[in-house]
Structure 1
């Protein structure tokens, strides 16, 4: 028994009993239910990106500076980070269906506040509320693995994650379209109504699911530190995800500067259309999930790490060629999503009864990587322009490969291989 397991039992919530309600008697969630969960994830995650193309309209509406309006982006990200740390672990304590529905209702309330306010302070409050409670998506993802047939859990995670990723990618385009039709408030109102409908549907179609033994909230949080300390592969796979996302974030934080510059001369709408190439990357999530079900997690990770590095060659050539830029962006999206799904599938199997806490650790590390990658990208742009960006991204991709090699050593050690 690992020290992590011993401490969890000591704290009064041994969740390994065969009588656990997590052991679903049916063959798994149906595809329509998984698709509904996928839609819910897309709505929750995408809601944090609605404001990004609307900053000028928001600033004009409230007669504030664009810098003040832009601060709503930071506020949304910070609120989401707090939700990952403080709310997602509750998936290992509370009944999950009720928790997801409650969080979605609260997130919808935040969207309505944003959609009907005429005060900039209330807009910030609405964005904070929506961001904090939108982490319902990060409870649904491990829940899909828990409720599915173990032999098809990778497929289930892939379907749900595809919806989450497509929601993020489409959010900016949908927000811009609805703003053009009815003003910037419109997307928040439509999102609020849609989230209410989807939350109600989830209440009726999801089975009840919870861990059998009660534990205090603080015991749940304390056990996360134990999981980090005593699970080397949770650490390694979280760092792999963080480094890969950092590499991609160096691109996302600066690509508009390149594409709007003299080499390409694209406007905001055209840059948004280029960004939609990432939808293809979202489809990789489902493919990676199916490969994971066949036991090809490591092979998938290795191929995706190679693609991550190669993508920066295409992106470097994309400094003067839009075709090469699109090719590089397609590769980098495929690589990131393949690594992300493989990582999640591996860490979820480390301790299935602690999936929500494991997901909280993994996703928090993942978004720390994104923040550091964005900062590194901005610094590299100021130092050496697009060439420096590509060098930074490639170095982060190589570090991803190194950590993947290290994770392979941990895997061999755990299996007793020489």
Structure 2
């Protein structure tokens, strides 16, 4: 048997897929945005959390790291089950867990309890990584790209605007209110998805052990997948370095802003979502590797601007725009590349890529907190720029 075929079990004969109407597509986009936001609500709140539990900034930043670690573990160990178990039921169980863990975070009596709840919030918030393959399966061939693109836009906007919402609510009503409100939103989504989401029969017919072994087969046989996972991890590490340290920088004497203003910088970053269509067109016209190179160069220039001009509001805004556009462009183009490798294994290809992506994000959160604590804003920019430089070197030279 060809080793490539061992990465995927034979698919059963497909049954007629339910049609996706506009209302369901928008519900999927809304779900992706609200659920992925659970991972990022904590970033503008880190300074306030540190004050509540009397811990230093570097320790408070571990809340962001814990959430991303949990998300990464879920990507690796749970999301592949979307090829094996009925996705709707799996997503509803995960949303119920997310609601419970967010409620636990809102009531956390100690920092250790909050950190533990944050890991579980990450574990239960990988629903979009199940919903996107489901949408791709249910969509008609002629509309698949448009539908998946619309849902991905919801995901990107959720990532960026979550900081705005949590920063404002945290400043005016306390950080615990943010987690409590997020728990309520998850309960609302459970009701909506139980009512509107169709069932989606699994494709993989093997065991969980064979499913997990197929991930290793894909990693071994696809050098482009390995490269994309490493590059994605590097660029998302650079992204996390910045957003983890930003709230501390804005609350420092350089600016003297609160978490509400820190959160509103997410509105600036939301323009990065506009890069998704451009990145897709560039990848189609000149190939995804070219589009990834452009995205990485934009991210590298962002850290140059932030290092030289981050002490001025205009420089900070320009740097955020360049960073978010660059990171989103590289991310979308990386996904375009990996989804072309083994079409029948897209869910598992995405698992490998996103595991690398969020592993980098977790490392970036740790590095951002440490860089700020020991070296200030200059250290943050040097570390973030180093991650982008590493990603660019891997993209250009790894696996060639």
TM-score under structure 2 normalisation?
A: 0.84
Deviations 1:209-254 (CA, angstroms, capped at 9, x unpaired): 2334422112211211111111111111111211211222332343
Per the alignment, residue 138 of structure 1 pairs with 129
Does residue 93 (structure 1) correspond to residue 84 (structure 2)? The answer is: yes
CA contact (8 A) 1:51 1:72 kept: yes
Runs of 4+ in 1 over 6 A off after TM superposition: 117-122
CA contact (8 A) 1:146 1:352 kept: no
1:153–1:336 Cα change, 3 Å: farther
Per the alignment, residue 271 of structure 2 pairs with 280
Write the distance in 1 (CA, Å) between the matches of 2:145 and 2:233: 21
Does residue 65 (structure 1) correspond to residue 72 (structure 2)? The answer is: no
Aligned equivalent of 1:330, options 317, 321, 330:
321
CA contact (8 A) 2:65 2:362 kept: no
CA contact (8 A) 1:151 1:293 kept: no
1:49–1:398 Cα change, 3 Å: closer
Write the distance in 1 (CA, Å) between the matches of 2:192 and 2:382: 47
Per the alignment, residue 14 of structure 2 pairs with 20
1:375–1:174 Cα change, 3 Å: closer
Per the alignment, residue 174 of structure 1 pairs with 165
Per the alignment, residue 242 of structure 1 pairs with 233
Per the alignment, residue 98 of structure 2 pairs with 107
CA contact (8 A) 1:228 1:235 kept: yes
Report the more deviating stretch, 393-402 or 64-73.
64-73
> SS of the counterpart of 1:276?
helix
> SS of the counterpart of 1:209?
coil
Write the distance in 2 (CA, Å) between the matches of 1:80 and 1:167: 16
1:194–1:304 Cα change, 3 Å: same
Does residue 164 (structure 1) correspond to residue 158 (structure 2)? The answer is: no
Aligned equivalent of 1:231, options 217, 222, 225:
222
Per the alignment, residue 207 of structure 2 pairs with 216
Aligned equivalent of 1:202, options 184, 193, 207:
193
Shift of 1:184: 4.1
CA contact (8 A) 2:32 2:128 kept: yes
Residue correspondences, number:
398
CA contact (8 A) 1:82 1:132 kept: yes
Write the distance in 1 (CA, Å) between the matches of 2:304 and 2:77: 39
1:120–1:364 Cα change, 3 Å: same
Write the distance in 1 (CA, Å) between the matches of 2:369 and 2:107: 35
Per the alignment, residue 262 of structure 2 pairs with 271
Per the alignment, residue 415 of structure 1 pairs with none
> SS of the counterpart of 1:254?
helix
Shift of 1:116: 5.7
Per the alignment, residue 313 of structure 1 pairs with 304
Deviations 1:119-163 (CA, angstroms, capped at 9, x unpaired): 877656654443221111221223333333445544433322332
Per the alignment, residue 291 of structure 2 pairs with 300
1:91–1:317 Cα change, 3 Å: same
Per the alignment, residue 4 of structure 1 pairs with 4
The answer for unaligned runs of 5 or more in structure 2 is: none
Per the alignment, residue 332 of structure 2 pairs with 341
Report the more deviating stretch, 146-155 or 51-60.
51-60
Report the more deviating stretch, 268-277 or 387-396.
387-396
1:203–1:370 Cα change, 3 Å: same
CA contact (8 A) 1:251 1:377 kept: yes
1:148–1:347 Cα change, 3 Å: farther
Deviations 1:42-67 (CA, angstroms, capped at 9, x unpaired): 22221233344445766777xx4335
Does residue 360 (structure 1) correspond to residue 378 (structure 2)? The answer is: no
The answer for unaligned runs of 5 or more in structure 1 is: 411-418
Write the distance in 2 (CA, Å) between the matches of 1:143 and 1:291: 26
1:198–1:55 Cα change, 3 Å: same
